[in-house]
Chains A and B, each alone.
Chain A
Amino acid sequence: MNSTTSHELAAEPIDPTELVEERLVLWYFLAAIVSISISLLGGLLMSMQLIHWNPHDGVEYLSPGRWRMIHTNAIAYGFIANSFLGALHWAIPRLTLKKVLCRRLSYFIFAAWQVVVLSTVAGILMGHAQGVEWGETPVWIDPLAQVGLFLVAINFLTPIIRAKGPLYVSLWYFMAAFVWTFLTYAMGNFMPQYYVSGTSAGAITGLFIHDLVGLFVTPLAWGLMYYFVPILLQKPIWSHGLSLVGFWGLAFFYPLNGIHHFLLSPIPMFLQYSAIVATVAVEFVVLTVIINFFGTLWGSSRALVTNIPLRWFYTGMVCYFLTCLQCSMQVTISFQKVIHFSDWVVGHAHLVMFGVFGLWFFGMMTYLFPRLLRHPWYSRNLCEWHYWLTAVGIFVMASDLILAGLFQGYYWVSLQPWDASVNGSQPFWIVRFVAGVAIISGQICFFVNLWKTWRLARASDVESLLPNTTYGPAWTAE
């Protein structure tokens, strides 16, 4: 690692278990797992609706339209946010050698955030959704969520501000992300609802959707990669200069992308073009980050075979590269003519949200659960099954949807009756359903493995089996 990391800075070794509230990390991960289960069922329901297999069509509380919104919101606020909060509770005290602001506050935030997630699900189910994509959280939850984000920010910013010495890359990303997330949420949930209507509101919702991905999820996730990957590989990040380019490029160009969600809409054309240019710029920035991480891997790639968390991470990075490659095409007007509004975009969304960030969270969980439970995984085979079912599932799902989008786009351009595009999509939608089932089976392997590991950890008193301070390359104590 870089010479500025915690261990070398510390005058005397500090026991990280003193700094980290491990129970909370565990709770957050469990909350994330519950959320993704709810979300996956919602996605499955919607995909079954499209292929006429929905056994409960016509039941209000199983309405596919509502469950589709639960699907995306449970992912954003339940799975992604909870996984982040857990991982940050693990990483930030280690990187700064300081505790978070207040232990009680941390527990309060945990409880408050679960209230936000559950009431979002309940609110959408009852028909209180707000008309902002990815901000469907009912309007009466928005203020609570806003306060929650503020508390999260001060809780985590305090140790970072207090930390001495130069800041490690991860902390740049974290600091900026706390500010961005707060501002983004306020912008997207309040402005289009109360202050502006019409086209300008469209520009703002575009910014919101994009900033939620680009200024909340992306920086926190990359920050965590900059933390976990060097630890797993036991060597420093390849190039500090490229890290700088990556961070500042993202900070500048990413927020300027928002309007690319509504290309060819009534939003002024010059703003649309500027968003397109900024999007292509982001592609280059992303490339520098990817190069940096593959430079780090160089010479140690065998670790991908033996080290499952590392494999999760790098598979996610490959997906990241593919997503951005796809994005650099789809952002052009020529592609937009065909693929906008089609399943191409849905394929893109799954590739980035699940193929990248989802896989990274599974990597972190695979690495951290044995440390939190003080017991190696019950079965390495189940870990492998989890990996392969998920990775193959998302790969099939994304390629299938992207291809489906091209077909749909051309059905529409050619002015065939609308039904042609719906019927022509059936084979693709069936494959998507199958891929979804594969992904869900992967998660079931994961849950079973976790449950068994938990039971074993409970049964044996094995404090000594896996000293929590080891950072060794072995991620299970085989």
Chain B
Amino acid sequence: MDHSSKRGDRPGVSRRDFLRGTGAAATAVASLVKVPGVEAQEAKSGADVVAIGPGPVKLSLEVNGTTMTTNVEPRVTLLDALRNYLDVTGCKKVCDRGTCGACTVMVDGKPIYSCTMLALEAEGKKIRTAESLIDGGKLDPVPAAFVACDAQQCGFCTPGFVVAMRAVLDANPKATPAEVEKGLAGNICRCGTYEQMRHAIEDLCKAGGK
């Protein structure tokens, strides 16, 4: 991962302490820290090891065009960093394991489950959340179609769907309704707003995603 090279000068604990201190999430972080010649399981000495955590490290994210900084432990997911540390709460925490899509955000234009990405992995990338789809009173056509067709009830799943749909239409403004639906296959709504969502998709596709 490209950001690992930027952390060379960070104060940190040794890899061994790091692995001992935390669990599975930490192992995932460890694999991010690429140090030539050092196997993940075995560090010969502390000197040549560049490691981060387990304590908080500086995190800088570009969210909706604004740079935001905070300190998080390396095990913190992008979802938790956004919600708990940066107060960006349009992405919702529901399953927290990559099933429901409520946490969907765009990372460099691609829709991803922010609960399955570590916050540090997102450094240097452009993060876009549902909040970017309203500017003053002006609504982006995707949420506007959701509102007009009443494709939301409790609304807890809705920002995730809206981001996923925006991403599909950004990638292919000529997408057919079937293609848009395919792009929403990773999102779940409990209130059952799919029929109204189809009305919204139809309207959006007719208008070329605008």
A, B: real partners: no
Interface residues of A (CB under 8 A from B): none
- B residues apposed to A, CB below 8 Å: none
